[in-house]
Every structure is written in C-alpha cells, then in structure tokens.
A and B are shown apart, each in its own frame.
Chain A
Amino acid sequence: MIRSRLAREKATNILSMYQINEAPIDVEFIAKQLSFEVHLFSFPDEISAAIKTIGSLKVIGVNDKHPKARQRFSVAHELGHYLSGHEEFDEDKRVFVDPSKKFLNPQFRQEEEADEFAAELLMPESLLTQDVLTNHLDLPELVKKYEVSEQAMTIQLVNLKLPFNQKKKQS
C-alpha cells in the first residue's frame, strides 16, 4: 500500500515538475523530458510495451497495433518501472515467494506499482476530482478528455472513491 502511494506521489511530482495541469496529459512529452525515445514497434498482442536502455540511450517500444489510449497507458507504465528503480529487484535483493501466489510475487507488485504510477500520471487525482465533483463529467466524457481506456478510468475512479456521474439528460 505504501509503495503504491509512493508510486502515485512520484507521478504527482513529475506533473508539477513539468507544470502539467491539464488533461489530456502529454505522456510523450514527459517521456522525452526524461530522455526517452518512444517508438512504435510491431509486437505480438501480449506485449504492450518494452524498455531497453543502452548507455544513455533509453527507448520505449510501444505495440503499434494497440489503440492510442492503451499505448499512452503503456508508455506511462514503462516510465513507472523506470522511475521506481525496478531494475535491482530481480537480482540479489529478490526474496523468493511462490510465483503462483500472485499478490506476494515481487514481479506482480512491480507491475501494480507501475500501473498506479501510470494511472495517477494520466488521470491525476486533483484534475479528476474537479471534473467529477465540480464539472460533473460522466464516464464517456472523462474517457474522451483524458484519452484513456474506459477500463483504466473506471479503475481510477474506484481507487479514488469518486462517484460515477450519470449520463446528462438531453436538454
């Protein structure tokens, strides 16, 4: 839980560092600021994105066949891995646990952390709260505004305990 919160704080810090306070969040700009090159790459459907670094070259490859919203999330997720320093986890510091116990698996925790980071980066709590509670945007409107998938938005709303606004009546 604490690790998740840290991942979210990291995202908040990045946004304030680059003075980003408007949706949709320009994740490619952020990647660029962090010296990443983002390239579309032909991956099988199961791979959303990959990171490879050689020296100072840092490349994120994104599945070229995935929808734009998913590509955005994938880039943010990879940045989450990078910024959380997940590189050392698999080596000597790794504590082995039964991989079938998914929630105890460090690998799974890392994925979760990267997801938390990505969610907060693309759908920052402060902006989203305002759009839901003050601007009364409903789910499709939020999805459109933040350029994320409906699934990602739903999870974020639930995690932030924000209500789902009903579709506005046609006037």
Chain B
Amino acid sequence: MDTQQIIGKKIKDARQRIGISQEELGSRVGFSAMGISHFECGARKVGIEDLEKIARALDVGINYFLDSTISPTSNTGRTGNISYFRSSFDNFDENKRKEIFSATSKFEEFVKNLHESKTKND
C-alpha cells in the first residue's frame, strides 16, 4: 500500500464509521461520488486542501490522515511505507502542516534517489 492508498483507506474507514455514503461525503466537500471513490481506492491523489475539507466533513483531525503514514514501517522488504516519529501533532496551523508534509516528501524523495543510485551501481 502506498501512502495514497493508505490515506484513501483512512477516508473510507472514517466515512463508514459515521455511516455516510460516498455521495453524501462528496456533496459535503464538492466532489462527485466517483471522485470520492477514486480517492478511497488511491487512484486519485488528494491534495492537502481537499484533505482538510474531507477531515472537517468526517469530523476527524487532519493528523488522522497524516498519522496513517506514521506507523507502517515495512520490515518485509516490500515497497516501503514511511514512518514518522513525531511529537504532538495536534493544534498545528496550516503552514506548519504544509511544512511537515513538504519535509517528509523531501525525505521520501531523498531515499528514492538513494535507492536509484544504488540500483544503478549494482
């Protein structure tokens, strides 16, 4: 599962927990049921702004989704997820969240490049 799929699953879990349809969630955040379905299966990337809207509509904090990428730490050697060890992530303003998102993306990129350079050298 890549990060997008994990976030998608998180959206689905949270939506089902409060018992609303994809259509209902879509109408709350300005997407079609199909759009929500694409988010949930990870086929469509959710931007941070949309994720914030979805979080509000599902009555969860944004870190519910971001945290979903915290714990999966692959020790099976399959395409690795990323795990972040963080201090408290509550009460962060938008800028801080963006900063964190951007830093973690950069780290992912760094590891990807490292992996590519190692694969080339092999």
Chain A residues at the B interface, C-beta cutoff of 8 Å? 37, 39, 41-44, 46-59, 61, 74, 77-78, 81-83, 85-91, 94, 96, 99, 106-107, 110-111, 114
Q: Is the interface of A mostly helix, strand, loop or mixed?
A: mixed
Interface residues in B, total, Cβ within 8 A:
43
Contact A86 B71 (CB under 8 A): yes
- Give the CA-CA distance A61 to B13 in the complex, in Å: 30
- Give the CA-CA distance A91 to B64 in the complex, in Å: 13
Contact A55 B115 (CB under 8 A): yes
CB-defined contacts of A43 to chain B, threshold 8 Å: 103-104, 107
Whether B70 is near chain A, meaning CB under 8 Å from some CB there, is yes
Contact B99 A44 (CB under 8 A): yes
CB-defined contacts of B83 to chain A, threshold 8 Å: 50-52, 78, 81, 86
Nearest-Cβ distance from residue A51 to partner chain B, whole angstroms = 4
Q: Known interface pairs A44-B99, A46-B87. Does A57 touch B118 (Cβ–Cβ under 8 Å)?
A: yes
Closest-by-CB residue of B relative to A111 is B85
Contact B75 A82 (CB under 8 A): yes
Q: Mark B63-85, 1 if CB is under 8 A from A, else 0.
A: 01001101111111101111111
Total number of A-B contacts with CB less than 8 angstroms? 123
CB-defined contacts of B120 to chain A, threshold 8 Å: none
Q: Known interface pairs A61-B107, A96-B17. Does A52 touch B85 (Cβ–Cβ under 8 Å)?
A: no
Whether B43 is near chain A, meaning CB under 8 Å from some CB there, is no
Q: Known interface pairs A57-B115, A86-B71. Does A48 touch B86 (Cβ–Cβ under 8 Å)?
A: yes
Contact B71 A47 (CB under 8 A): no
> Which B residues, 82 to 111, have Cβ-Cβ distances below 8 Å to chain A?
82-87, 89, 92, 96, 99-100, 103-104, 106-108, 110-111
- Give the CA-CA distance A54 to B119 in the complex, in Å: 11
29 residue pairs bridging A and B, Cβ less than 8 Å apart:
A42-B106, A43-B103, A43-B104, A44-B96, A44-B103, A47-B84, A47-B86, A47-B104, A48-B87, A50-B82, A52-B83, A52-B108, A52-B111, A54-B111, A55-B115, A56-B77, A57-B115, A59-B110, A61-B110, A61-B111, A78-B73, A81-B85, A82-B73, A83-B75, A86-B72, A86-B83, A87-B74, A99-B61, A106-B71
Contact B82 A52 (CB under 8 A): yes
Interface centre among B9, B61, B108, B111 (most CB of A within 10 A): B111
Closest-by-CB residue of A relative to B74 is A53
Q: Mark B1-17, 1 if CB is under 8 A from A, else 0.
A: 10000100100010001
Whether B48 is near chain A, meaning CB under 8 Å from some CB there, is no
